[in-house]
Copies of this chain bind each other. A is one copy, B any other.
Amino acid sequence: MKSTLVAGLTATRRYEVDKGRTIGFMGDEARVYNTPALIYDMEVTARDLLLEHSDAGEDSVGTRVEVDHLAPTLLGQWVEITVTIEEVKGPGVTFSFTAKDSLDNIGKGVHKRFVVGVEQTKARLLAKAEKAKSAS
């Protein structure tokens, strides 16, 4: 983690609501941006902001999300997501986020990530894979 990783950093990104981001259980003409897609896009925005302030060999993993999904966004609209770093405490980083489309504020919440070493994390994952194999 670079010394530039501090509270107050912010990033805004716009995403097109394509079909893969929507849920169609009310019919094709009523496809709306789903909550998992909102969270995915928010996580990408937050992770990329962290990467700009991380050292080589570091990445981050998400540990907590709180989201209020306030309004529906239709297939073909865009959404704009803003993440802001609220706190940096050791490797733990807390973000707030908001999301809007061209008409409404559609979401807000809190997100926590941990900055990790990629090689150490891989080693932990491979150890779990071995354990899962011998348990099955």
Contact = CB atoms under 8 A, between A and B. Distances in A.
A135 B103 contact: yes
Contact of A72 (B25, B65, B118, B128): B128
Contacts of A64: 66-69
A54 interface: no
Kindly report how many copies of this chain are found in the complex they form together: 2
A31 to B, nearest CB: 9
Contacts of A67: 64-66
Contact of A74 (B66, B118, B132): B132
Nearest to A119: B26
A121 B37 contact: no
Given A36-B37, A64-B67, A67-B64, A72 B125 contact: yes
Interface in A13-57: 25-27, 29-30, 32, 34-37, 39-40, 43
9 contacts: A27-B122, A35-B43, A35-B62, A36-B37, A39-B39, A65-B66, A74-B129, A77-B132, A102-B135
Given A36-B40, A77-B132, 17 more contacts: A30-B121, A34-B40, A34-B43, A36-B43, A39-B39, A39-B65, A61-B72, A62-B69, A63-B70, A64-B66, A64-B67, A64-B68, A64-B69, A65-B69, A74-B125, A74-B128, A101-B132
